[in-house]
Chains A and B, each alone.
Chain A
């Protein structure tokens, strides 16, 4: 434990001096979770909070990586130090994963962006814990903005992306894509939309669908600001300037309208909740493993007793 502490301290020190290998190592430790991740969270929390966190999500193959890469490259070439956290699903059968997002990010890498690939690793709760921690590492050591790319399919992936300051939802040309995005719960979280593959037929249909759905959602009065829609052809670089501007306008909006602190406090609470839910699920797993079978007591009375026990605890683990 003491040696763990000192290893982490020296990693943090070197990371503060700009050593990227130490940053990479810290990311690995946060991803693994456990005690190290907690120590790192303690160390990085006071240093973080300066970076603009951008979430990019959408259907598989929508062009998220191509767009992310262009953004990151452009930022890196204009005196920023962007980081990308690219999340791909693990195979539920084998736990393995193919993390292929770097393929589109070569130029961004060469321009100086820090790209990190990450697998969901099966345990859904783990992602919700690991991603904010990894973003905090990037933030703490001067990477700004931090872009999270996730496939917008699972609830956790959607949650992870929606924990960003600016959430970009990517749909593609063609009828039905916006409808799918709506079903996946992506519409409510979008701060701005990209209709990518605008070189293909149906880009305007997709735009119209989106406008319609935004109109409907505005009626319910949830959105603070009507999300902008940007048309892009990522592979040809078309619409990227508009996208950059829209992202930066949203960032300005957050700052000027005092929305940033609201978002951050929402994010902070969401992270506390993930952590608490994790601790509770560990506790219940452990309690149930240790349970002496006694079918005479009713399940609910046993659960009540366990919960009472938990509430009396003053030490974790």
Chain B
């Protein structure tokens, strides 16, 4: 990727929970960090995310979830992308207890952001994930 091309991130929320306020805040943080945010919104499935990444030629995926589904949902997305042959890192936002971080990393999640993450944290985490792409 050329240096001055903006990072393209597909941003989606999984699960049935109906609030998009948090996701919109994250979208704005990423936009303000100079990224192009392909915003998918709520109730996304692995299939929708894979299609969006493919059509948008995205560099990275950000998924958010509120209920405690991270241990199953996050790997589901990572695997769906892998199975589709898409080498795109996945960053997860949500309430993930310390004790699960290792399992998340093992599952191939490139970064985890808690609810307290600052705009800088969020942008740095995404940039780092993109930088390690394909490694």
A interface residues, Cβ below 8 angstroms from B:
20-21, 24-25, 27-28, 32, 90-91, 93-100, 102-103, 106, 109-110, 114-117, 119, 121
Contact = CB atoms under 8 A, between A and B. Distances in A.
B38 interface: yes
Nearest to A84: B55
Contacts of A32: 2, 5
Contact of B56 (A95, A98, A117): A117
Interface in B1-15: 2, 5-6
Contact of A24 (B2, B33, B48, B55): B55
B34 interface: yes
Interface residues of B, number: 24
Nearest to A34: B2
Given A91-B32, A103-B41, A109-B55, 14 more contacts: A21-B57, A25-B57, A28-B57, A94-B31, A96-B30, A96-B32, A96-B33, A96-B36, A97-B36, A97-B37, A102-B52, A103-B40, A110-B48, A114-B55
A109 B51 contact: yes
Contacts, number: 70
Interface of B: 2, 5-6, 27-28, 30-41, 48, 51-52, 54-57
A109 B32 contact: no
Contact of B31 (A20, A24, A96): A96
Q: Which DSSP category, helix, strand, loop or mixed, fits chain A's interface?
A: mixed
A102 B31 contact: no
